[in-house]
Amino acid sequence: MKIIVAEASPLYCQGVKLVLNSIGVTVQPSFVSSFDELRSSLSHQQDAVMIILDSRLPGLDQADQLKAIIRASDARVLMLADNKDIAFMRWTSFHGVKGAIAKTADVEELGDAIRTVMEGRSWRYDEEVSVDQWLGQETRLGYALRRLSNQENNVLRFVRSGLRNKQIASEMSLTEHTIKTHMSNILRKLEIENRTQLVVAIQKVEVDQGLSLSA
């Protein structure tokens, strides 16, 4: 099985290589630093492949892109996330990802996840997540949402409906540049890295001027 590490950080790539060695994987991984490079590598791929994929890989900003590469290559994907965002980890499984793990995981945990996904099984760390952990994440997001302006709330509502920036601009009679500015402000205020993670996060909350957590 070929292994592709799709990660922009050379240092983290070397860390993954060390973990592979520690669990007895003799296959030398190939490394790509952008989504375009990943697609190019997969287009020439004939053998079974495992992808260790950074959720913030440059060029990867839509769930459809993720589903497309899994469907086209039948790849086994282990997603690397910035932290243990429980909702995001579970969301990845609905898009064909075999497992998701925080980059802060120790060597043993990352090794277990890689081995499990290589064997074609699903790996999850969150089977014993407590109710308090779930409520804590939802409450933090609920407070952060209250920092948004009315215009930002309107943009967020359209994002939740699946519209892209150009479509939102048309709906709100604004320029696409203005929508991009609103999106940057939303991501900054909610402390979320990209649009995909934003869509996942707001699935459980009501986006409105009175913003409250949904039951």
Give 10-residue mean pLDDT values along the chain (215 residues).
92 93 91 93 84 90 79 88 68 80 88 92 64 50 75 90 91 94 88 78 54 33
Looking at 63, 89, 118, the residue that finishes a domain is 118
Residues 17 and 70 in one domain: yes
Range of the domain at 47: 2-118
pTM above 0.75, yes or no: no
Q: Structural domain tally of the chain?
A: 2
Cβ distance 74 to 67 under 8 Å? no
Residues 139 and 165 in one domain: yes
106 in a structural domain: yes
Long-range Cβ pairs for the range 149-152 (8 Å, 24+): 149/185, 150/209, 151/182, 152/182, 152/185, 152/186, 152/189
Q: List pLDDT tens digits, range 149-188.
A: 889 989 998 988 889 999 999 999 999 999 999 999 888 8
Cβ distance 213 to 138 under 8 Å? yes
Vertex 200, ends 152 and 49: CA angle to 5°?
Answer: 135
